[in-house]
């Protein structure tokens, strides 16, 4: 599963639209949209927000983190 898919799935599990998810993470709607379509990846600050969101709501963060690390490694190639 890709990073974009795991982020989208987490948002959908929370029964949120992109705008609500962006507000919960304190990021822009554009950021969430770009993550979900695979045009960008969250920065470290956004990842901390995603982790806090997952912990607060009982969602798994490990797959998101794994895919994020993989995406960063691929970007450096």
Reported pTM? 0.93
As a whole number of angstroms, the distance between CA 49 and CA 55 comes to 10
pLDDT per residue of the chain (77 residues) written in tens, 0 to 9: 899 999 999 999 999 999 999 999 999 999 999 999 999 999 999 999 999 999 999 999 999 999 999 999 988 87
Average predicted confidence (pLDDT) for the chain: 96
Cβ–Cβ < 8 Å for 10, 64: yes
Q: Where are the beta strands (DSSP E) in the chain?
A: none
pLDDT of residue 4: 97
pLDDT at 1: 87
Q: Which residue has the tokens 């963060």?
A: 61
């Amino acid at each position: 599963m890709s990073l974009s898919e795991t982020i989208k799935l987490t948002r959908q599990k929370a029964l949120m639209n992109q705008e609500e998810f962006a507000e919960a993470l304190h990021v822009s709607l554009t950021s969430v949209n770009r993550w979900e379509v695979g045009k960008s990846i969250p920065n470290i600050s956004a990842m901390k927000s995603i982790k806090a969101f997952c912990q607060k709501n009982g969602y798994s963060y490990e797959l998101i983190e794994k895919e994020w690390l993989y995406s960063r490694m691929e970007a450096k190639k």
